[in-house]
Chain A
């Protein structure tokens, strides 16, 4: 009963709550809901696969008979109908039924509230149903393995005990960063790290505790840990990242001094330092937090124009730098992130002097870049600064605006999709606007959401860096120590220098105990064994001494 009152106060639908008090009715409604959502989700996956003679199931409106492109389904009976022509609302009032669901989004409409309503249980069912289907429709290129199914975390007894004794704190951390003398270039990079969900989770999970780190001095990971602790401390006053700055100076002398620096250089330098000071980081196939978060793979395919032989090479990448100028130096007027990415992945002609084929010798070729592996966090830099001379003394800034989206689908720039589209083109099939029939997996696996934007205003040598960052659904504007609530619109209108996107779906393997934990436990067992041996040896010594004493005494007696 108390749950109901709390939920009511939070704005939940009282009609849904009271309906759910009856277990039988509740389970019927949830079952119907699950069926509808399953049907809609499967249908949308099936429709993306063009198959000539197949007929997709298409319900008709119970009132006007038209085939429904966006069915609203009654949760009490078998009626489904149009929303825009108000047929479903008509049915609900005529039949005295309360709830219907928009099959596509899973949103529930309550006729009594005359509003769409939110319920935590419904939301859970929607998420678990759609995810299970998404997993089913994801096939992999490697070894016919199915995608690892999501398993929600359930605390074991030890976890429950630990949680019962813990204090919960609100997980909100936003603080301005003091400008320590032209250091806005560092502040914006740090704010983009703070808003980065994967970096945040790593450091808030205590994966690198600066109080326990053995490195002592000049550990950038410790500086990151300190930064996260400060920002999530509850203190809202601006924070001065002085030790982060001095550590950065000592690690990269080119970034030192009180002059304005390039935020992108600072970003790359910081990533390298965090990698270098991470426990267990390696030169190849590193799984440190930097590589786990930002590491992607770029593929370059060079095709010989004579014999068609293709040479493939892959290179790791931490971010993507995009040109704003075309081949002949022209700056477009309607630049978008998509147009930059298309330019980045379009075929480039290589002259006979630049390429030598194994079979044909020197001849013209075409080179094409594509993304082989998408990283969890995708960072883009727009190359706005052109340095005319090596000493950076003369430079120009390209002011052209670039429109970038809040959500980005990277499918068409990936190697997998590009190859599939090339294959279809060769077979003479249409590809414009549709997806290749070969399985490229659910679109959700290619989708990213914008979470931070670094902006630069002014000229190269006396400009200013600021940034926008998203926390859940709200956008904030960070101008050194000043933090203000902003909006998506304001962010998208700004002149972006760098954009950060986070992948909507993370890929994960089956859980295995990390090797360092296994090693630690093995070490603990060995230590216990050594302790036992020491005690046994000590006991033996005592026994021997005692025996000697008794023998001597007997001898003397």
Chain B
């Protein structure tokens, strides 16, 4: 089912899948991921989550992967610093632009 991206243009599932595949095959995915990792660590996001997960696990009995992932994931996505989001989004956009030229 076609969906609209933030610019309002139509992005089909097929197009998304193709871009995903190209990102991975070229290694660009891994490079962007690595950049994200470094920036998230420097902002303290990683340590914040690590501590939250650890202390949550300490209090949880019996410990459940599902409960842990739910709690940690929601905190993780809501706490990404704006500047990190902006920088990585820009990098992805840069890649997409280069692909659309082809």
Contacts and interface: CB of A to CB of B under 8 A. Distances in A.
Q: Is B truly associated with A?
A: yes
B91 interface: yes
Nearest to B42: A338
A351 interface: no
Nearest to A489: B51
A492 B50 CA distance: 12
A65 B34 CA distance: 25
Given A66-B20, A67-B24, A488 B34 contact: no
Contacts of B66: 114
A336 B55 contact: no
A154 interface: no
B32 to A, nearest CB: 8
Select the residue from B26, B33, B87 with max chain A CB neighbours within 10 A: B26
Interface in B23-62: 24-27, 29-35, 38-39, 41-42, 44, 46-48, 50-52, 54-55
Given A65-B17, A406-B47, A406-B50, A433 B38 contact: yes
SS class of chain B's interface: helix, strand, loop or mixed?
A: helix
B55 A487 contact: yes
Interface in B44-102: 44, 46-48, 50-52, 54-55, 64-66, 87, 91
Nearest to A50: B27
Given A66-B17, A405-B41, A488 B31 contact: no
Interface string B1-35: 00000000000000001001100111101111111
Contact of B17 (A51, A67, A405, A434): A67
B21 A433 contact: no
A323 to B, nearest CB: 19
Contacts of A105: none
Contact of A492 (B26, B29, B47, B54): B47
A434 B51 contact: no
Given A66-B20, A405-B47, A487-B55, A433 B35 contact: yes
Contacts of B30: 44, 47-48
Select the residue from B21, B27, B52 with max chain A CB neighbours within 10 A: B27
B17 A488 contact: no
Interface in A8-67: 44, 46-51, 54-56, 58, 65-67
Interface in A106-135: 114-116
Contacts of A114: 65-66
A48 B65 contact: no
Given A58-B21, A115-B65, A434 B29 contact: no
A270 to B, nearest CB: 29
A488 B38 contact: no
Contacts of B35: 432-434
Nearest to A49: B27
A196 B70 CA distance: 36
Nearest to B19: A67
A492 B51 CA distance: 10
Contacts of B55: 487, 489
Nearest to B32: A433
Nearest to B51: A489
A488 B21 contact: no
A27 to B, nearest CB: 28
Contacts of B52: 489
Given A116-B65, A434-B35, A69 B24 contact: yes
Interface in A342-357: none
Given A67-B24, A409-B38, A487 B51 contact: yes
Contacts of B20: 66-67, 69
A403 B26 contact: no
B65 A56 contact: no
A242 interface: no
Contacts of B50: 406, 488
Contacts of A432: 35
A434 B31 contact: yes
Interface in A426-457: 432-435
Contacts of A49: 27
A407 interface: yes
A246 B65 CA distance: 53
Nearest to A337: B42
Contacts of A54: 26-27
B2 to A, nearest CB: 16
Contacts of B65: 114-116
Contact of B44 (A51, A56, A403, A409): A403
Contacts of A409: 38, 41
Contacts of A55: 25-26
Contacts of A69: 20, 24, 29, 33
A338 B20 CA distance: 32
Contacts of A434: 31, 34-35
21 contacts: A44-B30, A47-B27, A47-B30, A65-B17, A66-B20, A67-B20, A67-B21, A69-B24, A69-B33, A338-B42, A405-B44, A406-B46, A406-B47, A406-B50, A409-B38, A433-B34, A435-B31, A488-B47, A488-B50, A488-B51, A489-B47
The 8 closest A-B pairs by CB, nearest first: A433-B35, A47-B30, A489-B51, A47-B27, A67-B21, A58-B24, A488-B51, A55-B25
Given A44-B30, A47-B27, A433-B87, 15 more contacts: A47-B29, A47-B31, A48-B31, A55-B25, A56-B25, A56-B27, A58-B21, A67-B20, A68-B24, A69-B33, A434-B34, A435-B34, A473-B54, A489-B48, A492-B47
Interface of B: 17, 20-21, 24-27, 29-35, 38-39, 41-42, 44, 46-48, 50-52, 54-55, 64-66, 87, 91
Interface of A: 44, 46-51, 54-56, 58, 65-69, 114-116, 336, 338, 403, 405-407, 409, 432-435, 473, 487-489, 492
